[in-house]
Amino acid sequence: MTKKKKINAREASLYALKKIAEEGAYANLALTEVLSTYKMDFRDRKLATEITYGVITYQLTLDWLIEQITGRPAEKLDRPVLHALRIGFYQLFYLDRIPAPAIVYSTVELIKRGKKRALAPFVNGVMRGAIRKKDSIAWPDPQRNLLDYLVLRYSHPAWLVKRWLKRLGRTETEKLLAANNVIPPTSVRVNTLRIGRTQLIDRLKKEKITVTPSSIVPDGLLVEKGGKLTALPAYRDGLFQIQGESAMLTSHILQPKPGAKVLDGCSAPGGKTTHLAQLMKNKGQIIALDLYEHRLALVEAAAQRLGIEIIETKCADITEFCRHNQEEFDYVLLDVPCSGLGVIRRKPDIKWRRQENDIETLAQMQRQIINAAAIALKPGGTLVYSTCTNEPEETDLQVEKFLAAHPEFAAMDFASALPTQLSGTVGKNGIQLFPHLHHVDGFFIAKLQKKHS
């Protein structure tokens, strides 16, 4: 077996950031690859994760700060130098527990160990200049230019901030932007086919993981302290699934009965699919669709680990599948592809990948999916439509247009499936969950019923 090379936290962050910038890798996948390739102690792994996500979260602002100190556009800097300076500036401006001299030293060392070591004196000068000018940098005045202030204060793209300001107003927009920059707790779903919530809490405690019960869903737990969850014996034994609370709530709102026939139209990677099976007590049939075999393999692996036997995966386009399976299903779940702007706090790189015109493009795709799924549902059947975003074109307006075009469908009341703190938040067409209001991922969930003819 090849011995793993040992690296430190800043080197790991540099490698991950290079993969994201040069290969277009997603932040979580790039970091996972780096952490599994190299040898690192637990503290360095934790710091590498914090720095990498911090740099991605505040990338726009970090580049602006670098420009204030260097006097030149960030994109004109050598790429390795820019990565190193982003890492250094993030620690200097956003982490208060690392001494400034240590930040300067570690940033210069990053350059010395690479191919741009001749630029080490430049990096040293920039970092020292940042320390001197840190408290005198002139930020935009919110009274004169609110948009620029919010964009730089919270490091979000201008088009998105402008969009939210128009819809939500300043106060709500600023709260949402702030919430997007706070790392959320990890949540897990108890596999009630194998263990109860109290029993899993005790089991995880023995494995040195501290969790508390979710107030949103009855089978959810919030992780307060612990290590790598997927390395735990409890995980390998199929006692829990890592899943967001909003995503868990989606399955509870559908509430499929044991013995039913269910279609999960956009199933991978399988969190909701396996949850549906769990709620059905592993009785009935679930057809799990996806366009790609490698993604369906994730669904199958999750089902096998959790001891679920009622899921059948099919690699198919949902529009074609539903055309050949009309009025076949008692329940349909559609967690459709979307802009993902409700989960920025978990996936900060998504705000830099998205453009405003993506929203309408995705809305058109969603329209095709829900129209196709309507055909596959039996009269009297239930359809849940969900997105991990709060943009109207993909959420409330999407359902409104669907209902106008499909008089055989009606919105259902699902307040009984919600915890007390959310029971008054359901709108005409569904529920909008926001990170700053409900302390969960931004989600939209609608529950529709096909009328008997």
Mean pLDDT across the stretch 439-446? Answer: 96
Mean pLDDT across the stretch 262-291? Answer: 97
Following CA atoms 234, 238, 244, 250 in sequence, which dihedral angle do they give, to the nearest 10 degrees? -150
If we measure between CA atoms, which residue out of 325, 446, 449, 335 comes closest to residue 376? 325
Residues 6+ apart with CB under 8 A from 155: 57, 58, 59, 60, 61, 62, 181
Q: Is 41 helix (H, G, I), strand (E, B) or coil?
A: coil
Q: Which of 266, 322, 338, 388 is catalytic?
A: 388
pTM confidence score: 0.94
Domains delineated in the chain: 9-133 (1.10.940.10), 147-180 (no CATH), 187-242 (3.30.70.1170), 245-450 (3.40.50.150)
pLDDT in tens, 295-350: 999 999 999 999 999 999 999 999 999 999 999 999 999 999 999 999 999 999 99
pLDDT higher than 70, residue 2: no
Following CA atoms 225, 227, 228, 231 in sequence, which dihedral angle do they give, to the nearest 10 degrees? -120
Residue type, 444: F
pLDDT in tens, 201-214: 999 999 999 999 99
pLDDT for 113 equals 86
Residues 253/445, Cβ–Cβ less than 8 Å: yes
Residue type, 184: P
230: exposed, middle or buried (Cβ count in 10 Å: 0-12, 13-18, 19+): exposed
Mean pLDDT across the stretch 30-50? Answer: 91
Does 315 qualify as catalytic in the annotation? no
